[in-house]
Amino acid sequence: MSTWEEFQSDAPSLASEGQRLMNRGAGNSVLLATVRDAEPPRIHPIDAAIVAGRLYAFILGTSPKANDLESDGRYALHTLVDPAAPSEFSVRGRARGVDDGDVRHTVAEGWSFTVDEGYHLYELDIGAALLGKRAADEWPPRYSSWKASQPQ
């Protein structure tokens, strides 16, 4: 798994376009897929942001998505698609809770909504990324991908 900064270092154009697509909607809204046991994945709209080279999300601690992330950790994040410019970006990997108060404060400072103690902060480590670029009248998209190198 890699941080956003490591991903950006390895694949700068892919990361740059991914960040642009993540930031094109109001409040950095994206879709988060989580898994649990043998059940089907859950899909949740959330806000995510890149802060200091890391990808973060604040998740309401009592929500099913927080339970999924705590029990399993695997996630997939996908940008919302604009029909007029339907390029798309997704990353997948593992989420982990962040308990450091200083990190939480830094991330919360520029967040798209007021964060209170009911929200848990997760760093989303990245295992793989996929970008599908296309104009509204194009099909299929032109895909490019990246995968984190495995530790030796």
In the chain, what percentage of residues exceed pLDDT 90? 80
Quick one: which H or E segment has residue 7?
Answer: helix 4-10
For residue 10, give the H/E element and its range.
helix 4-10
| Tokens at 18, concatenated | 């991914």
pLDDT over 90 at 124, yes or no = yes
Interacting residues of 96 by C-beta distance below 8 A, sequence separation 6+: 73, 122, 123, 125
Q: Which tens digits make up the pLDDT trace of 73-106? A: 999 999 988 888 899 999 999 999 999 999 999 9
* Residue-range domains of the chain with CATH: 4-147 (2.30.110.10)
User: SS3 helix, strand, coil % of the chain, rounded to 5?
Assistant: 25, 40, 35
